[in-house]
Amino acid sequence: VALADDVKKYDAEKLISFLREQELGLSEEVIKVLENNDVTGRAFLEMTKQDFRDINLKAGPALVLANFAKECKEERLPYSKPSKRFNLDSYNTIPLENWSCNKLVEHYRENLDRKDWSYVLDNIKKDLTRIADLNSGFGVERRRKAQAIIDHWKNWRTSPKKFSMDLKRDYSQFKIDTLQVKQQMIATGNASTQIVDNRKRLRDDNGEAVKISSSDDDIPADIKSWSPDHVKKFLKSRMENSDYDETDIEKIRKQDLTGRAFLRLTEEKLTRNPGLYELKPSPAEGIMELVEELNQKLAKDT
């Protein structure tokens, strides 16, 4: 079957899907013009640059579409038929907290013909780019969320774990800063208000509020003054979404590590078997990231 014969059968919706998959650089504004004029595949093949201009398209996209229509008729290009796609309107119903890499990939794999990681992510990025457009018709919060993901796309795509750890690292820095703010503000009696205000302002790289554990309130800002119980409390406050658990924390607590000793931990010490801790590599790596953050904070303050 010739390409033109396929395109002739497309209704307006299927034509839009086809054009989007050809990566012609069409904006959502152009797509909406085509949709509003109910351009079908058969009509598309007959349209000239002037025809596209007559439906209020600018010269650039009008020329692109006219040339592409000509290429379709002459069948001079490799092309992909419209495949099963994720419905963009679904982003109006998916809660913002579910706009994470894993959850979006899961949604897309349920709705796409191909399930491979690269293809799915390419589709997600294209759709998020459309949503972030001012003319997309989506609300402000959803456009901002889409833009935030696009801004961090490199980490999100190449290393979802690194992307997650980057967010947790920013969160860690804020928590340490918050402890110091509290200590500095106690003298004025405004510590509680200051910390609450800071917490309200904190947002992660996806634009969502980050929760602060109330258990941090009893941890001194001076890390070197931490007791073994302070170390334990700190680790527990950071346990959510981490690679270590209560069992790993108890192994460290049994060794009565103070803040100073905690800062001198190494991954080799944590994973040595037989040894004092005998942690597995993954939880040891998670704890060492905290040690590194605390040491960097101390170095910055001195």
Q: Quote the distance between the C-alpha of residue 55 and its chain's center.
A: 37
The arithmetic mean of pLDDT across residues 14-20, rounded, is 86
At 2 the pLDDT is: 65
Match 């996806």 to its residue by tokens: 206
The arithmetic mean of pLDDT across residues 18-39, rounded, is 86
| Rg of the chain in Å (alpha carbons) | 27
Helices 160-185 and 101-111 cross at an angle (nearest 10°) of 150
Closest CA to 288 of 300, 274, 277, 302: 277
Contacts with 265 (C-beta within 8 Å, 6 or more apart), sequence order: 257, 287, 288, 291
Query: Does residue 13 carry a pLDDT above 50?
Result: yes
At 53 the pLDDT is: 93
Domain extents for the chain? 3-74, 88-158, 161-301
Compute the distance between CA of residue 171 and CA of residue 146 in angstroms, rounded to an integer.
21
Average pLDDT over the chain, rounded to an integer: 75
CB 298 within 8 A of CB 263: yes
Question: Selecting from 3.40.50.300, 1.10.490.130, 1.10.150.50, 1.10.3720.10, what CATH number does the domain 161-301 have?
Answer: 1.10.150.50
Q: How many CB atoms lie within 10 A of CB 124?
A: 23
Closest CA to 234 of 275, 184, 298, 293: 293
Compute the distance between CA of residue 175 and CA of residue 214 in angstroms, rounded to an integer.
11
CB 243 within 8 A of CB 285: yes
Considering only 21-30, 54-63, 146-155, 209-218, which range has the smallest mean pLDDT?
Answer: 209-218
Confidence of residue 268 (pLDDT cuts 50, 70, 90): confident
**Where does 3-74 sit in CATH, by number?**
1.10.150.50
The arithmetic mean of pLDDT across residues 201-230, rounded, is 60
Judge whether 3-74 and 161-301 match in fold.
yes
At 85 the pLDDT is: 54
At 206 the pLDDT is: 42
Each residue's pLDDT tens digit, 133-186: 877 788 888 888 888 888 777 665 554 455 455 545 544 554 555 565 555 655
Each residue's pLDDT tens digit, 99-109: 777 777 777 87
Residue type for 135, please?
N
The arithmetic mean of pLDDT across residues 15-21, rounded, is 85
pTM: 0.33
Compute the distance between CA of residue 18 and CA of residue 45 in angstroms, rounded to an integer.
13
The arithmetic mean of pLDDT across residues 69-76, rounded, is 78
